[in-house]
Amino acid sequence: MLKIVKTSIALATASLIFTGSAQAEVENALANICNIVKVDDKGELRKKMKKVESDYRLKLQDYYTGIACDGESLIRTAFLNNAVEAGTLLVKKMPKSQLNAPEADGKTLRAWVSENGLMDTPLAKELNERI
């Protein structure tokens, strides 16, 4: 009985250590994604997203809410930096349900775009077509 308890504790500890290191690796893999979006590098963004998906089996929707670029989400960052190519890729890769969901500040993307006077931008047109 004691052997089972010790084995269970060892396995639990090992899984916690592995999970922590795996999360750190994902964070390192996504480290410069904000800069990639800001400079509107669609090719590099696509490569980064494919690498994270193949290495960690994570899609954009899995890590999107965990990334903040100067306090804004990736798509909002694309809007603020007029990054049409990168922003379009992000909008197309996100599920419609998540595009319509409120973000960290409680506002949907569409409401935030409208409040910031960005409805006439090409990226807003892509967002509206997708939603």
Global pTM exceeds 0.85: no
pLDDT tens digit sequence for 29-74: 787 899 999 999 999 999 999 998 999 999 999 999 989 999 999 9
Q: Is 78 exposed, middle or buried (0-12, 13-18, 19+ CB in 10 A)?
A: buried
**Domain layout of the chain by residue ranges:** 1-29, 32-130
Asked whether the beta carbons of 93 and 52 are under 8 A apart, the reply is: no
- C-alpha closest to that of 79 among 58, 47, 109, 44: 109
Pick the more confident residue, 109 or 27: 109
